[in-house]
């Protein structure tokens, strides 16, 4: 089965939808998404979008905060671009009907503050910003006749010129280019070919490679893994951001406590009530995320406690309920009244700062293949993402990608789409060995959490490399012998992402930003003030 469109967008978060809405002016758009269209990391984003809108703020200040957070690895052209164009993208969201929180008694937007920011500049919709943005974008996309959604489809691999040449579907290898992707329809186990003259990966991050994460279940690194297998350059995968404050509760697995809570005065304390962040950084609870996460990790290892606590009880109950209705309500359901008692919290894998390397137009090294959002590495985040810069990056780069993507479309329209062969399962059979999938899934996540977490060492990383390599061999054998399932595809992608994180971490023999290793505890600008680059041919 084949589906064709001018633009193929894989993912339905803020990056994919923002691009699709603008691309629909130029041609047809197919949006392929793994679950329902609203099941995205965007939908779970609480804090907001960083943008220079306050009277006491400036573009230069936001740039400097971003560069400081990135610890020497930010691409300054990307930082300048994203920060400068941010206010215009916020105004676009307002025009689309996003209901941001406004100041009491005024027309201006209420601006919050989060860790690492020198000014209040976080545009938000109470503590459910992502949901408000996703709702508005989906409503507009649903009304657009040039956009079609294909829900419950997971991509297996990209369709490239090289792959078609190898299978005899085309006679030349004129360039390294992308024509689409094979995807599994999860509802009926049918593999379909989605062809597009321009292909855009917006698949999000890979937080599920870790045992504890703030990410939804869909975050299995599909875009990075498929891009890497197709020959796309991957950069900076060692920089995994652990959010300092996920709720520690047996009844929930990934409920984030927004950094905005600390921005409004929340303090981190230990089980004995001691506020400890002043011992780690002059900004205390508003230090950068890498510093706060390592501080909590150190405190837990020192004390043997299972969690620390985030206390905002000194603010009025009315303020807390109005500013954080979602967090207050969810915690109350779980038996924690945050107006009266501190919240138990632990760090959890949160954001992938690396990804498929792109330029400031979202182009990868594979022609006609773009990457947007968390799957991409634009150079904005460097070694540590500044809070609330991620949604901003998705908006700005989606806008920047439109012009070259439209030009690519015009060029490719003059040529027919290739005759792509149907998915060939070969001699694969149905498997009755589901235990292999579930066991390896758990082993990967435990291995990554224990050996490739907040604090690393060469010994731990080497152990992790051996274990992941063994699992990879088993999963590849399983992949080629049995019919594909969604679980198998995700597991295959997780092993690829795990390999990239480990290899990247082993190659960086220093500590910088989110990568901290006991064997090389200091920063080495002379040797390692550069991106960590990996690339492979098709497998």
Q: Where are the domains of the chain?
A: 2-238+353-413, 243-348, 434-534
434-534 classified as CATH 1.10.150.130: no
> Could you give the CA distance from residue 533 to residue 539 in angstroms, rounded to a whole number?
18
Q: Cα torsion for 302, 305, 306, 312, to the nearest 10°? A: -100
Q: Report residue 114 as tokens.
A: 């989060």
> Could you give the CA distance from residue 175 to residue 367 in angstroms, rounded to a whole number?
8
User: Options 3.30.300.20, 3.40.50.1260, 3.50.50.60, 3.30.70.520; which CATH number does 2-238+353-413 get?
Assistant: 3.50.50.60
Give how far Cα 301 sits from Cα of 276, 452, 455, 479, Å. Answer: 14, 16, 11, 39
Q: Tens place of pLDDT for every residue, the chain, 539 residues?
A: 899 999 999 999 999 999 999 999 999 999 999 988 877 777 777 779 999 999 999 999 999 999 999 999 999 999 999 999 999 999 999 999 999 999 876 678 999 998 899 999 999 998 889 899 999 999 999 999 999 999 999 999 999 988 887 776 676 776 789 999 999 999 999 999 999 999 999 999 999 999 889 898 899 999 999 999 999 999 999 999 999 999 999 888 788 898 889 999 999 999 999 999 999 999 999 998 889 999 999 999 899 999 999 999 999 999 999 999 999 999 999 999 999 999 999 999 999 999 999 999 999 999 999 999 999 999 999 999 999 999 999 999 999 999 999 999 999 998 888 889 888 887 677 776 678 888 898 999 999 999 999 999 999 999 999 999 999 999 988 888 888 999 999 999 999 999 999 999 999 999 999 999 999 999 999 999 999 999 985 43
Q: What's residue 537's pLDDT?
A: 52
> Could you give the CA distance from residue 234 to residue 222 in angstroms, rounded to a whole number?
13
> Which residues, 6+ apart, have CB-to-CB distance to 265 below 8 Å?
312, 314, 315
> Could you give the CA distance from residue 370 to residue 174 in angstroms, rounded to a whole number?
19
Q: Please tell me the CATH code under which domain 243-348 is placed.
A: 3.90.700.10
Q: What's residue 383's pLDDT?
A: 97
Query: In the Cβ-directed half-sphere of 287, how many Cα atoms lie within 13 Å?
Result: 21
Q: Report residue 22 as tokens.
A: 């603008």
> Which residues, 6+ apart, have CB-to-CB distance to 384 below 8 Å?
69, 70, 71, 239, 241, 288, 289, 290, 353, 513, 514
Q: Which residues are catalytic?
A: 289
The whole-angstrom distance between residue 187's C-alpha and the CA centroid of its chain comes to 25
Q: What angle do CA 359, 360, 363 make, to 5 degrees?
A: 45
Entry field: residues in the chain: 539
Question: Cβ of 106: how many Cβ atoms within 10 Å?
Answer: 8
- Which pTM value belongs to this model? 0.92
């Amino acid at each position: 089965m084949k589906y064709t469109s001018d633009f193929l967008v894989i993912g339905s978060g803020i990056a994919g939808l923002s691009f699709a809405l603008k691309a629909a002016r130029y041609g047809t758009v197919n949006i392929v998404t793994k679950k329902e269209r609203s099941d995205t990391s965007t939908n779970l984003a609480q804090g907001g979008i960083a943008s220079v809108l306050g009277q006491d703020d400036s573009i230069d200040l936001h740039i400097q905060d971003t560069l400081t957070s990135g610890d020497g690895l930010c691409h300054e052209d990307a930082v300048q671009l994203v920060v400068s164009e941010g206010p215009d993208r916020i105004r676009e969201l307002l025009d689309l009907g996003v209901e941001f929180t406004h100041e009491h008694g005024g027309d201006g937007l209420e601006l919050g503050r989060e860790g690492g920011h020198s000014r209040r500049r976080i545009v938000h919709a109470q503590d459910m910003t992502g949901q408000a943005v996703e709702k508005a974008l989906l409503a507009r996309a649903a009304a657009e006749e040039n956009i079609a959604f294909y829900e419950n489809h997971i991509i297996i691999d990209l369709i490239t010129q090289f792959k078609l040449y190898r299978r005899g579907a085309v006679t030349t290898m004129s360039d390294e280019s992308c024509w689409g992707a094979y995807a599994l329809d999860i509802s009926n186990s049918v593999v379909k070919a989605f062809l597009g003259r321009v292909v855009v990966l917006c698949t999000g991050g890979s937080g599920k490679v870790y045992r504890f994460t703030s990410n939804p279940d869909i975050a299995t690194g599909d875009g990075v893994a498929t891009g890497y297998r197709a020959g796309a350059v991957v950069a900076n995968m060692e920089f995994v951001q652990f959010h300092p404050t996920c709720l520690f509760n047996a009844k929930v697995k990934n409920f984030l406590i927004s950094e905005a809570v600390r921005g409004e005065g929340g303090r981190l304390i230990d089980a004995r009530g001691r506020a400890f962040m002043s011992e780690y950084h002059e900004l205390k609870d508003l230090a950068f995320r890498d510093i706060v996460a390592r501080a909590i990790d150190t405190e837990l290892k020192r004390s043997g406690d299972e969690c620390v606590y985030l206390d905002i009880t000194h603010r009025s109950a009315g303020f807390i309920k109005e500013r954080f209705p979602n967090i207050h309500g969810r915690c109350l359901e779980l038996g924690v009244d945050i107006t009266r008692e501190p919240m138990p919290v632990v760090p959890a894998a949160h954001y992938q700062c690396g990804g498929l390397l792109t330029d400031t137009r979202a182009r990868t090294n594979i022609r006609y293949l773009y990457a947007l959002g968390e799957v991409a590495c634009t150079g904005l985040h460097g070694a540590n993402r500044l809070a609330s810069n991620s949604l901003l990056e998705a908006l700005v780069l989606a806008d920047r990608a439109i012009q070259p993507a439209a030009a690519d479309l015009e060029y490719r329209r003059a040529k027919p789409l290739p005759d792509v062969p149907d998915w060939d399962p070969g001699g694969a059979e149905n498997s009755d060995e589901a235990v292999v999938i579930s066991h390896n899934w758990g082993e990967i996540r435990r291995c990554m959490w224990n050996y490739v977490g907040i604090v690393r060492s060469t010994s731990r990383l080497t152990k992790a490399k051996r274990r992941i390599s063994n699992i990879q061999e088993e999963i590849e054998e399983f992949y080629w012998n049995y019919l594909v399932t969604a679980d198998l595809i995700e597991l295959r992608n997780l092993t690829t992402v795990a390999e990239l994180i480990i290899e990247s971490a082993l190659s960086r023999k220093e500590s910088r930003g989110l990568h901290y290793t006991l064997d090389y505890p200091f920063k080495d600008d002379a040797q390692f003030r550069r991106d960590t680059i990996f690339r492979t041919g098709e497998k």
